[in-house]
Every structure is written in structure tokens, then in C-alpha cells.
Structure 1
């Protein structure tokens, strides 16, 4: 005990606790932000490729929507097995495997010529990427105490904003400048060039990441002792440790339903935002790409501020519900002013701000009632069940658009789904899991 106290004292003197976690953040978070950035680029570049790919291959909106959705089917089926393997073999090896294989599969999208291969490769990309996001979130639970996770999750999930800021102009540039180069259509270059960094980053993860605090050669023994001590001071909320406890826990399914609503709202936006902007009178691919960056810029700032506020006040419930309400209002604005660019961009900005800030806070809750292998599997289960929203939303919007000639009715549906999430957040999750975790300054 005396040795441990001395070590903690040495760590405090050597580096303040806040400075220590800043050091850890700079070592861990930027790499995973980059990984998530290219994961999202590989996931949603289909929305930009659609602008040319659909006409080249003669796909209907229903075919496109189904192909976009099949990614989430593969993701759903393999999410829990993937995270159980991650728990067994370690984050370093498994996340590297995920990135390398999804990069290779995503590059193969440039070879698509038929509906069959479009569907098959979209499904396989989901299989290969399954486990990445919950794997990283589970990895964070091994490094950060509960009082610091919302802000760390918000930094990580800011990758979606970065993807929006970088992805739109990059996709527009590739589609506009490389179309026809070496006999390849622009959409083929898009799939190829955005897949290569994922493969490279997979090898970087192998070299750079340590699975646990104890294995980090870049931390001193005293710093490791301080971080392990903070982890041992986690809130004492009763948690399920076993897989059997996970399946029997009703909150698992409530959280999955909330995440289903979130994913439907998110994918409905991600896969159709370029088309909504085009429908508002913007024809040039580069201009569409530039306009898609605007909602992400505001969302990035809002996300970080909400994560800091949630941690500082130790409050999750109302922070999360207000984000879901923002999404509902944003979809109403988009539906009411469809075809009018300025109100449409305002609505898209409200939706994106709510969605991006919602996710980091959401992922602080599962570790309150799950731990150990149940946490690894539970985070994956919630994520995979929620990802079914990604199957439903793109197909739903595509189908409604084919039947009615407009996406407006689907936007009203997505607003109602966001309101359902508000109700589940406020009344579906036991309040003890929202209990104050200890505010930080």
C-alpha cells in the first residue's frame, strides 16, 4: 500500500492528472480519429459515387437504397462475434485486421458492374468493418475512467464531422477531376483512392497501439499506477459481468432501440444529403461536396462542447434527450422547406449537430450496467442491433422516393423516429444508470 501511494505521489509530481490524460489523449485519440475518418469515408462514399455510378450502371433508387443498406446487414451479423474475438486477442491485432480487410474490400467496389456484385460487396464491407467502433469504445473503457469518457468519445466521434468536412470536397474533386483518367470513371477512382489509407493505417495500429495501460512502454510506472488507480475508482453501480447476464438485461434492449433510432436518423442523412442538396437546385458535384461540409463544421464544435458539459456536470439524460430533440426539429425543417437551399442547410445542420453530439454521450451508459466480457459483447450487441437502422433508413427513403417522386414523406418519418428516441431516453432507461458519475473541472 505504501509503495502504491508513493507511486501515485510520484506520478502526480511528475505530471498532473489532467496533463497525464492529455498525454494519453494525444497518443491514442488522433490515431483512432484517423481510422474512424477513413472507415466513414469508405462507408458513405457510396452517397457521392451515386451521383455518377447510378446512371452508369442503370440502378434505380430502390437498388441503390438496398445496396447501401446491405452494409449494415453484414455489420449486424458479425458485430458481436467480432468484439468477442477482440476481447480475446486484443484491440491492437483485431482493429488492425479490421482496417486492412475493409480497405481491400472497399477498393473492390470499383469493379462493380451488376446489382449482384453491388449487393455482395456492400454486404462484405459491413462484415469486414464489424467490430471497429464498439472495439474502440471498449478499448477506451480500459484506459479512461467514466468521468472522462464522454469527452473522449466526443473527440473520437468528431471523426464523422471531419469526414464530412474532408469527404465532401475530396469526393467532389475526385469525381470532377479524375473522371475518365486512364479509362476509369470518377466513381471508380473514388472507391480506390479512399480505400488505400485504411490499409496503411491498419499497419500503423499494429505498430503504435498498446492493448492495456500496463503494456504502454511510453508511460512511466508511476503514471501507469495513477491511471490504474483512477480506473479502480469507477462508480459502484451493479453491472452484469457474464454473457448470460447481458442477454437477460432489459436495458440492453432499450439502449439498442435508442441506438436504432439514432442510426436511422444518421444514415438517412448521410446517404441522401448530396441528393437533397441537388434537389434544391445545386448541380455541380464539387459545389454539392462543399455544401455538405457546412453541417459538419457546426456539429464538430457542438459535439465537443456537449461532451465537456456532460462530463463536467456528470449529467447524461437531459444532454442526450436534447440532442435527439434537435434531430427531430432539423428533420421537420428539411421536410417543410424541401427544395429551398437555405432552410434545407439549416435543417441539415440541426440534424447533424444533434446526431454527432448524441453518440458520445450515449456510449457512456452501457459500461454503467455491463462490465468485463459482457461489456465487450454488450457494446457490440447494442451497436449491431442499432445498426439495423442503417438497413431500414436508406431503403425506406429510396423506396418512398421511387413511389412518390419525393423524399419529403420519409423526412417526416425520421423526425417522428427522433421523437421516439427522446421518449426512450427519458423514460426507458432506469435513472440509476444516469446517476451522477462525479463531475470534473
Structure 2
């Protein structure tokens, strides 16, 4: 059997390793330059590859193709493969066939990284043999090849879910759904929503779907579509018959029995969205029989994800916060919502079809100045020019931070929360966040 892997990044190389271990004839093809660390792995494992091109004769010879999540379905080589009837799947589909471990799959427009890290943290504290991967950390396929985990906690993007056929997590979590990546979904929100719900399409009555009861998009979809899995919602607003909810500010889990886990005031991560992330993670852990003491302790001592509302430094009474991971409007909404002081907001990058009007009430209430960080800031300027007196355009993280330093006064917050992708000025959101942090340290 010939396995062709398109894209030699984390998921591609992981799939190649697992494929070779399982006896496939593996060929890796990347249209760009393969990073040195991945090239070494391919050479060490004696896996044949090409870079800077796709040789069609070698690719069309495949029995099965694993496409990296970054490659859109619209690309001509992918279309051609599908026309020839060659199966094109994602890494999680390929790897899930080779593990007997329980899979906890986590998706959503925002909060999925934090929730994935929380679930992993709780399960480790509960002494379970667990590995974390998918869209975060190591590739799932490589973990399956090299470790024997009893549980895999996977962060799953919609792109990874687009390439599944039989993949079914035992526990699925959908943190929330708001417009994102619409450029990959023909600018139709409906397509993106359906993509997220693929996480539950192969689940059975013995599986669980944990979701945000307060999220209208999710609730509406569930009203109109059948799901086999047991539904376990979480809510900040409603006391539920079954699921996770707040009662007298306590987080309560109700499934078969009712347990008070902890008071929400003792959660390590602050903000409504993080309370929801904690509820989802607690529910998943309790299904996996982790003791409630271990759940509580984990939620009290958890340290958040880098680049997600990360405090950098306080300089002259001004707090600098790195929220570079906010690559869509909804994530930035959470960030602005959690600001308690007048805010100098650094925003902008590659716009994925954003509608900034959702942010208007928060900007009116909290933002004293806007610093644009992107090559094309027209939409941001047009949206907010009547509500914010000062809007400055800058051409990089260092300049943005220097301008913020001049504008901000004692007691203010400088918040990098771009609401956009980073690919115009930076390699990725991590690079953007790191450049921001470096610039703050050099003030």
C-alpha cells in the first residue's frame, strides 16, 4: 500500500513515521521548503520525500493520501486526487485507526487550546497515562507510533475534522462557534459550523458531547440535527438537568449524581470564557473517573496558554498583555470583555472576513486608543474612527509597542489582541506574540 503525505510539517512527518511503522510505502511531498528539523526526522527514518514541488506521477500513484490541515481542499492537486477517486484524509483519521486509547477531542472557534491543556493537566494530576496532541504540541500520529497512551487529548481544528471518515472521539467538546476561517468555507458560516460538528458525526450512544449551552449557534444546530452521543451541556446562565452549571457561584457537575466541584472564585484562570473552559474540562475529567479533589486542585493551579491573555510586564503602572492567539473577533471580544482599566488596543493583521461591529460596545466602553498592526487597516479605521479619538497605524510590533508606551498612562492596560491572522508581518501568531513581548522588555 502506498501512502503519500502532502505537507511535511508536524502532522505530515508524524503520519509518515506511523505509516512506515505500519508497513506502508511512504512518500512525502511538500510544495515549499521542508524545515531542517523535519528533514532530519525523514532522513533518520529513511522516508523518501521531495520539497519545492509536487511530482504528480508519484502522488497519483497513491492508494491513500494524508493532506496536512494547512492545505485547502481547493488546491488543484487535491481536486485532481479526488477526481481520480484516491482517498484524501487527515492525520487524525489515519492515526485513530492505530490506537486503542480513549480519545478526547476538543474543537471550537476559541478556547480549544486552553481547554485541551486543562483536560491534559487534570488527567495527569489524576495519574492517568495521557498524551496531548493534534493542533497543539506533538502530532497525534507520532504519539500513536511512539507511545502507548491510554488517553489522547486532542485539540482539533475544523481543517483536521474536514478530512475524517470514521474518526470518533469517546468524549467530544465544542467550546463555542463564531465566524472564523470563512475564507476556507466559501464565506458561508453554515459550512464552517457543519465542519465543527463533524467531531460528533461518528459518535455512538456510548460517547459524550460536551458543549456550551449558552451558545446560540450550537443550540440552533442541535435543534435541527440528530446527535447519537449523550449530550452534556455547560452553562453560566441556566441550572441544567444534566451537565455543568453554576449554583451560588459554585461549579456543579450533574450526571448520574450531583457534585459540587469548587467555587468559581478560586479558578486559576479568570474571565467568563475561562470559567466555561474549566467547566468543559471538569466534565470530561469526571467522565474519566478523576476524583473531584484532583479536578479542583488542577483548576486552581493551572497556568494558562502562552499568547492567550498572557501578562508580560508592568511598566510605569501600565500593564502589557499579550493575546496574540486572538486570531478572530470572538477571541478579541473575550479579551476586551475582561479588561478592567482604560485600554490601548493593538489590533490588525490578515482579515479573514471579520465583522468588527460586534466589538463596538466594548470598544466604546473600554478603549482609549487603537494602534493598528497590519498592512491593510482600512476596515478597522473605518469601523472605529467615530468612537475612538486616537487611531495610529504602525508597521511592526516594535513600533506598535513604542507608540503604546507614549499613549498609555499609569493605570492603563496595553492589550495586543489582533482579531486577525498574522501572516502579513509575522510567521505565525507565536512569532507575533514573541516580537511583542521582546519589544515590551526592551522599553
Q: TM-score range by the shorter chain?
A: under 0.3
Q: Which has the higher helix share?
A: 1
**TM-score normalised by length of structure 2:** 0.21
User: Higher relative CO (CA 8 A, sep ≥ 6), structure 1 or 2?
Assistant: 1
